[in-house]
Structure 1
Amino acid sequence: MTSSEWFGPQPSSGARPDDTVILNETPDGTVATPDGADATVALPTSSETVIIPPPRPVPPQEKIETPPPPPRKRRRRPVAVAVVALLGAGAAGSAAYATTGDIPRGVEVLGLSLGALTLAEAEKALREHVATRSAQPARVRLDGQDVTVTPASVDLTFDVPATVDAAATSGIRLFGTKTIPPAVRVDETKLETALRKQLDPERVTVLRPAIAFRGVTPVARYAKAGVDLDRALAAERVKAAWPTGGVADVPLTERTPVMTDEQVDALVEGVAKPAVAAPVTVTVGGESIELGPAAIAKGLVFRPDGQGRLSPAIDAKRLRAAGATAFGPVETPAEPATVRLRNGRPQVVPGTPGRLVDVAKLGPELLEVLPATGPRKVTGVLAAAEPETSAADVTKLGIKQKVSTFTTYFTGGRNAPRSQNIITIAKAVDGAVVQPGATFSLNRHTGERTYAKGYKDAPVIVGGVLEPGVGGGASQFTTTLFNAAYYAGLQDVEHKPHSFYFSRYPSVIEATIFYPTLDLKFKNTTPYGILIDTATTGRSVTVTLWSTKVYDSVKTVYGPRRNQTSPPTVRREAGPKCISTSGLPGFTQDAWRVIRKDGQEVERKKFTWRYDPEPRFVCGGTE
């Protein structure tokens, strides 16, 4: 056999004869083949020599076809790399898909998908989604009874930004959805108040401690265990149920007092009693004023915390009201902006700031000295007080034109007692402004009509008879004001015509007044403010309302008088209380107020009144 018949290189000088070829075992368990290729073979575990027989010789006349070499591992490496690259690209693509926008894909809030949206887009979409839900009342099963709570009354709202933030940080996911509960806010104190109004008070058996003043005497109430409304639990369950329209189950829970009788007594003896034992001197700007025990008792309160434990505090609002007289000499009240008639036209009058004792800062100073038994002194400061109503506020009211006016007439001249009463009440009402949606009460605005306020004795109807009474004649102004409001198209809330008919008034459309049982009330149902302007002469009183005109016209259509009755004759004992009259017939009549707007009739309201016959009163004498 010649050397050309060998597969691979010729054996070296140390090789065996032509019957065998020796392959060397490499350290990694492979065998080096003659052509240098890697061929993995099964080898013994020991380092022995492996003898492989030589290939069978091929006759010279035959054509030898060399078989293709077996596949090599390193030729597969590009395919593997490609697969890994594809997987990496897929993962990167999936991550990019999942993180598109600020909100991960698959995130939902109340059934609304926010995935792949930006924060701004998500907030806009969520606000629109919950807009209708926001107005829906909260349904509560309170101690087994179904009640509702208006969201606006307890500041129950969706916190859209907080919800979107939670959605944005909820984590990336490639498949499925994740539901994020909406963030909800509520004023726990207001919610508790609203629920307690609908809770049967007899069901609440817990008794919280309290300390209050009866005059300047502190009175203690001790705690007792029982069941009560848990404010925190109620808020938690309402916030959870409201977004989906569910019912929040709010039971009463067992409550144990956290304050003992001895602790309550300690507050009474250590704070409440010494607080009102003597006045406190307050020095403000070099001047000294005294807060008396009565004012201190009004301002000092003992407030419970969430567990019912009492602690003393100064209620600034109550102290300001109680100490108004004491603070007066050192204060300058702020004047609110308003509107006045100047040269026959409404003009806005700017307000002016004032300087008031800063009761918020004074409170802690008072609490420091109130437990002391000796003379107590504190230093107060004045703070700027802006007007409650600004010129801009008044301008927005739209008071710019005359919308109605009405005049009634009287006799006796300006100096007659009855005329004086008409003039006095007219001045008290002049310049009043009725805000949009507000109800004006004549009794509330003027208060009781007394001699101290300048009212005099004049005829009034008492028990169906005319007698002298303080403020007689005020009904004439009441009728004038009622008609001005009536012809402005305002809502009649309360009025009562006279028992007897007086020719100086329009029948049916008139009103009397008597403090505090009979009042005149009307509501400003327009979107504009109303200025009440009054004017008097020696024989008339006029009320004009200024605002922005809403209606085309307001008119009265009368029906005929019916069921007329003749006046009886009534003799009364002569004296200062008897007022003689000639008598007037009684009758019943209807009147319709017809309001037109934009060329259409928008209201036709019926007013009906039955007048008693006014007796012919005769003072003394016989028939």
Structure 2
Amino acid sequence: MQPDDVRRTDVSTSPPDVKRPTRRRALVAAAVAAAVLLPAGAAVGYAYTGEVPRGVTVLGVDLGGLDRAAAGEALRAELARRSADLAAPVTVRVEDRTARVDPSAVGLAVDVDATVAAAADARPGVFARLFGSPTVDPVVAVDQGRLDAALRAAVGDVGQPVVAPAITYDGTTPRPVYPESGRVLDPATAAGALRAGWPDAREVTVPLLDVHPATTTADVDRLLAELARPAVSGPVTVTTDRGDLPVPPAAIAKSLVFAADDSGRIEPRVDEKALRSALGTGLREVEVAPKDATVVLDGGKPKVVPGTDGQRLDTAALGRDLLAVLPRTADRRVAGTLTAARPAMTDEQAAALGIRERVSTFTTNFTGGLSAPRSNNIVTIARDVDGTIVQPGETFSLNGHTGERSYAQGYKDAPVIMDGKLVPGVGGGTSQFTTTLFNATYYAGLEDVEHKPHSYWFSRYPPVIESTIFYPNLDFKFRNDTPYGVLIDTSWTSDSITVSIWSTKIYDSVKTEWGPRRNITKPRVVHLEPGPSCIATNGIDGFTQDAWRIFRKDGKELKREKFSWRYDAEPRFVCGG
């Protein structure tokens, strides 16, 4: 009986007329869903075919469905078609002024690779891909600096210049410069406007940028009261292990900087170089200069003299520490730090110069003994140059080394050639040392950079291979074109000057061959007013001559250099008559 009861209960709760329609509706819904999803999936696949999504255009060119290489080719073809338009000048308007900008002059161009990358990254929705045409703007490149220069040259000063805040010192009196806002032509803004408008627009408007300095007038007044004025109220004492160093108000004023940055913000600082310069000779009281290693001749042989460390005040740290005490008007003391100062040339560097042997030597003679003014000048310049080391690749300038030769350096009046005649002049005779040095470097095979023979030939010099000097117009220069250092050694006697070059030999020999003298001219007689400035001469023939410097190595001639000079005939000057 129970099974029959159960069946009756099931039949009564689930009648056949309710169950069958529900199944039919489920089957219909599944069919509809399948019908909808099948074309949508196909649409998605279609829209995402290729690296560039379907329908994407750039400059009117459909790049959709293409890979990047093909899209780049299509875009380049369109740019080539538009080449004439793209090369045409663009009108740029700034306020009421215009400029014609040549695209090639400012690097204005479509960046094809970047544009294709942007097109490939474009991700519009599925239905936009199917039914729309999404447009991607071209990526435009422009040289911001060249564009800014071109615009400024064309439109000049536009807008209102910004007045940057500052505080300057008139002696030790601080003077404020208050900020003023402005409207300026900004390079980044101009470049952005051109990128956005070109190439579709033939005229682009560049707006001016409103600039407001970050430091206000109130900020400037506060800096005046809290730092600028108390900073110069008195000296600051720097204490070191070698004693105290006073920093006077004048040095503070010269090194304390209140200049604004690009944003118009003032960050006070102490300029280290200006501080060292302002302290001047006072630094010698606490600093010890380092000594470079060098090479000297000891017993006729090169010897390395070791360098020594020095001590230097750490003015970079001092500048930072000064800012902490400058706002105060009392208790103005700062601890200074002395750091090791290393020589510019170390012992190892001096040894590596390869100064091992005497490469050349040259001597010229003079008269009058060492007490004569001319002889004094020769010895003075020789002493100045003695021991000079010329590094590999370095050019030596005699004028640059000695500076102007004057009475203060110990030079005296002696005959010099001025306006074609001998007259007394400070430093007369230094040309003889110049000729001696020139020949020493000449026979060492070093590169001749600058020299000029005398206008008249003097028998104490070799013809053609000699040089005069006159500060600052006439100089003697040579370049050390060897891989070794060059040491200049000078020595003298009562009637001669000698210059020797020490290094490492490059050539077996360097010699001179002279050609015959030609175009010989005879001196004329010239009468001069008698007096202390008149120097009589016997006259010297004029002539033209050639000389060849010949380099030999391993028994062979490597090369030869030709030198030529035309000497004027020195007149026979007669004082009076």
Shorter chain as normaliser: what TM range? 0.5 to 0.7
- Equivalent residue in structure 1 for 2:531, among 565, 570, 575: 575
Using structure 1 for the length normalisation, give the TM-score: 0.58
CA distance 1:306–1:222, shift in 2 (3 Å):
closer
Aligned-pair distance for 1:376?
5.1
- Equivalent residue in structure 1 for 2:213, among 259, 280, 291: 259
Q: Which residue of 2 aligns with 1:464?
A: 420
Alignment partners' CA distance in 2, 1:495 and 1:556: 17
CA distance 1:354–1:581, shift in 2 (3 Å):
same
Tell me if 1:330 matches 2:311. no
* CA deviation map 1:239-260 (0-9, x unaligned): xxxxxxxxxxxxx997765637
Q: Which residue of 2 aligns with 1:340?
A: 296
Q: Partner of 1:531: helix, strand, or coil?
A: strand
Alignment partners' CA distance in 2, 1:598 and 1:211: 70
Q: Which residue of 2 aligns with 1:428?
A: 384
Tell me if 1:451 matches 2:407. yes
- Equivalent residue in structure 2 for 1:605, among 533, 545, 561: 561
Q: Which residue of 2 aligns with 1:526?
A: 482
Tell me if 1:551 matches 2:507. yes
Q: Which residue of 2 aligns with 1:474?
A: 430
Tell me if 1:513 matches 2:474. no
Aligned-pair distance for 1:387?
1.4
Note the aligned Cα RMSD (angstroms).
3.8
Q: Which residue of 2 aligns with 1:287?
A: 243
Alignment partners' CA distance in 2, 1:142 and 1:366: 52
Q: Which residue of 2 aligns with 1:492?
A: 448
Contact (CA 8 Å) 1:555, 1:593: kept in 2 or not? yes
1:144 alignment partner AA: A
Q: Which residue of 2 aligns with 1:144?
A: 105
Alignment partners' CA distance in 2, 1:268 and 1:322: 23
1:494 alignment partner AA: E
CA distance 1:267–1:541, shift in 2 (3 Å):
farther
Tell me if 1:386 matches 2:342. yes
* CA deviation map 1:417-466 (0-9, x unaligned): 11111111111111111111111111121122122221111112223222
1:426 alignment partner AA: A
Aligned-pair distance for 1:299?
4.1
Aligned-pair distance for 1:338?
0.6
Q: Partner of 1:327: helix, strand, or coil?
A: helix
Q: Partner of 2:379: helix, strand, or coil?
A: helix
2:463 alignment partner AA: S
1:471 alignment partner AA: G
Alignment partners' CA distance in 2, 1:292 and 1:464: 54
Q: Partner of 2:311: helix, strand, or coil?
A: strand
- Equivalent residue in structure 1 for 2:516, among 545, 557, 560: 560
Aligned-pair distance for 1:199?
7.3
1:568 alignment partner AA: R
Aligned-pair distance for 1:479?
1.1
Contact (CA 8 Å) 2:178, 2:220: kept in 1 or not? no
Q: Partner of 1:367: helix, strand, or coil?
A: helix
Q: Which residue of 2 aligns with 1:395?
A: 351
Q: Partner of 1:577: helix, strand, or coil?
A: coil
Contact (CA 8 Å) 1:258, 1:309: kept in 2 or not? no
Q: Which residue of 2 aligns with 1:10?
A: none
* CA deviation map 1:44-68 (0-9, x unaligned): x9xxxxxxxxxxxxxxxxxxxxxxx
Alignment partners' CA distance in 2, 1:221 and 1:555: 72
Residues 235-250 of structure 1 correspond to what in structure 2 (within 5 A)?
none
* CA deviation map 1:73-125 (0-9, x unaligned): xxxxxxxxxxxxxxxxxxxxxxxxxxxxxxxxxxxxxxxxxxxxxxxxxxxxx
Alignment partners' CA distance in 1, 2:441 and 2:569: 28
Alignment partners' CA distance in 1, 2:268 and 2:405: 40
Q: Which residue of 2 aligns with 1:27?
A: none
Aligned-pair distance for 1:388?
1.7
Q: Which residue of 2 aligns with 1:313?
A: 269
Question: What fraction of aligned residue pairs are identical, expressed as a percent?
Answer: 55
Aligned-pair distance for 1:600?
4.1
Tell me if 1:352 matches 2:308. yes
Q: Partner of 2:452: helix, strand, or coil?
A: coil
Q: Which residue of 1 aligns with 2:51?
A: none
Alignment partners' CA distance in 2, 1:544 and 1:215: 52
Residues 136-215 of structure 1 correspond to what in structure 2 (within 5 A)?
144=105, 203=153, 209=164
Contact (CA 8 Å) 2:174, 2:224: kept in 1 or not? no
CA distance 1:615–1:332, shift in 2 (3 Å):
same
Tell me if 1:413 matches 2:369. yes
Q: Which residue of 1 aligns with 2:323?
A: 367
2:518 alignment partner AA: R
Tell me if 1:590 matches 2:551. no
Contact (CA 8 Å) 2:215, 2:264: kept in 1 or not? no
Alignment partners' CA distance in 2, 1:201 and 1:411: 70
Alignment partners' CA distance in 2, 1:216 and 1:419: 51
1:553 alignment partner AA: S
Alignment partners' CA distance in 1, 2:379 and 2:412: 11
Alignment partners' CA distance in 2, 1:528 and 1:535: 23
Alignment partners' CA distance in 2, 1:605 and 1:286: 58
Alignment partners' CA distance in 2, 1:601 and 1:202: 60
Alignment partners' CA distance in 2, 1:372 and 1:324: 24
CA distance 1:588–1:307, shift in 2 (3 Å):
farther
1:499 alignment partner AA: S
Q: Partner of 1:311: helix, strand, or coil?
A: coil
Q: Partner of 1:605: helix, strand, or coil?
A: strand
Alignment partners' CA distance in 2, 1:445 and 1:415: 25
Aligned residues: 414
CA distance 1:343–1:493, shift in 2 (3 Å):
same
Contact (CA 8 Å) 1:594, 1:603: kept in 2 or not? yes
Alignment partners' CA distance in 2, 1:430 and 1:335: 17
Contact (CA 8 Å) 1:437, 1:527: kept in 2 or not? yes
Contact (CA 8 Å) 1:142, 1:199: kept in 2 or not? no
Alignment partners' CA distance in 2, 1:585 and 1:202: 63
Residues 65-76 of structure 1 correspond to what in structure 2 (within 5 A)?
none
2:381 alignment partner AA: I
Which structure's residues are more often helix, by fraction? 2
Using structure 2 for the length normalisation, give the TM-score: 0.62
CA distance 1:576–1:526, shift in 2 (3 Å):
same
Q: Partner of 2:411: helix, strand, or coil?
A: coil
Larger radius of gyration: 1
* CA deviation map 1:268-309 (0-9, x unaligned): 956677766765443333633334566556544566656565
CA distance 1:577–1:603, shift in 2 (3 Å):
same
**Unaligned stretches of 5+ residues in structure 1:** 1-44, 46-140, 147-191, 234-251
Contact (CA 8 Å) 2:214, 2:263: kept in 1 or not? no
Alignment partners' CA distance in 2, 1:334 and 1:262: 47
Alignment partners' CA distance in 2, 1:542 and 1:222: 66
- Equivalent residue in structure 2 for 1:535, among 491, 497, 513: 491
* CA deviation map 1:208-256 (0-9, x unaligned): 95888898888979897645777xx9xxxxxxxxxxxxxxxxxx99776
2:286 alignment partner AA: V
CA distance 1:286–1:525, shift in 2 (3 Å):
closer
* CA deviation map 1:566-591 (0-9, x unaligned): 22222222222222212212222222
Aligned-pair distance for 1:604?
2.1
- Equivalent residue in structure 2 for 1:614, among 555, 570, 573: 570
